[in-house]
A = this chain, B = another copy of it.
């Protein structure tokens, strides 16, 4: 009953959501996510699914395979229980509330740039963030059409955050101008 990693829990969640599916499907789901946090590499997913199966969180229908080489995994009762435990407070990963933001990280060190370069930095960040807006909207729409309201609402969170980061960048621009 070792602690499950984030990746393992998410893989568990994907299998729960999809119903019986292959590791490949899980891999594609994660690889397709706009969040670069989930690389969805085979070298991560296949071992993770195997670990989950060995520990009884997933079960593999007809262990060898089906007619052709596919292994269909489904969530086991222990898996559903683990998923619930992950979501029901208290949340052990509550420490991760102060989320990681690469732009914020870089902002700490903007003093190394000239004010002109700093302005360019902000321009680039703003442009990149604005590009994300339709990506998020599409993703949200896709889920909604698929009838997966929870995922749609989850993606919606990214919309709030992107908007906030854009406001913050506007604020930075003003502050930097004042500093000159």
Contact of A157 among B107, B153, B163 (CB under 8 A): B107
B160:A164 contact, CB within 8 angstroms: yes
Q: A111-B150, A153-B175, A154-B108 known; A101 and B161 CB under 8 Å?
A: yes
The size of the chain A interface, using a CB distance under 8 A, is 71
Q: Which residues of B contact A153 (CB under 8 A)?
A: 107, 171-172, 175
A150:B108 contact, CB within 8 angstroms: yes
Number of copies: 2
Q: Give the segment of A19-27, A33-41, A56-64 that binds chain B.
A: A33-41
Identity of the chain B residue whose Cβ is nearest the Cβ of A84 in the assembled complex: B112
Give the secondary structure class of A's interface: helix
Residues 115-156 of chain A, each 1 if its beta carbon lies under 8 Å from chain B, else 0: 001001101110011011001100000000000011101111
Bound Cα distance from A105 to B103, whole angstroms: 20
Task: Please give the residue numbers on chain A whose beta carbons come within 8 Å of chain B beta carbons, in ascending order.
Answer: 6, 10, 13, 16-17, 34-37, 80, 83-84, 86-91, 93-113, 117, 120-121, 123-125, 128-129, 131-132, 135-136, 149-151, 153-158, 160-161, 163-165, 167-168, 171-172, 175, 179
Q: Which residues of B contact A131 (CB under 8 A)?
A: 97
Bound Cα distance from A3 to B109, whole angstroms: 18
Q: Which residues of B contact A111 (CB under 8 A)?
A: 17, 150
Q: Which residues of B contact A107 (CB under 8 A)?
A: 150, 153-154, 157
A-B contact pairs, 5 of them (CB 8 A): A10-B105, A87-B121, A88-B113, A98-B135, A104-B154
Bound Cα distance from A154 to B136, whole angstroms: 24
Contact of A102 among B88, B93, B149 (CB under 8 A): B93
B157:A161 contact, CB within 8 angstroms: no
A91:B124 contact, CB within 8 angstroms: yes
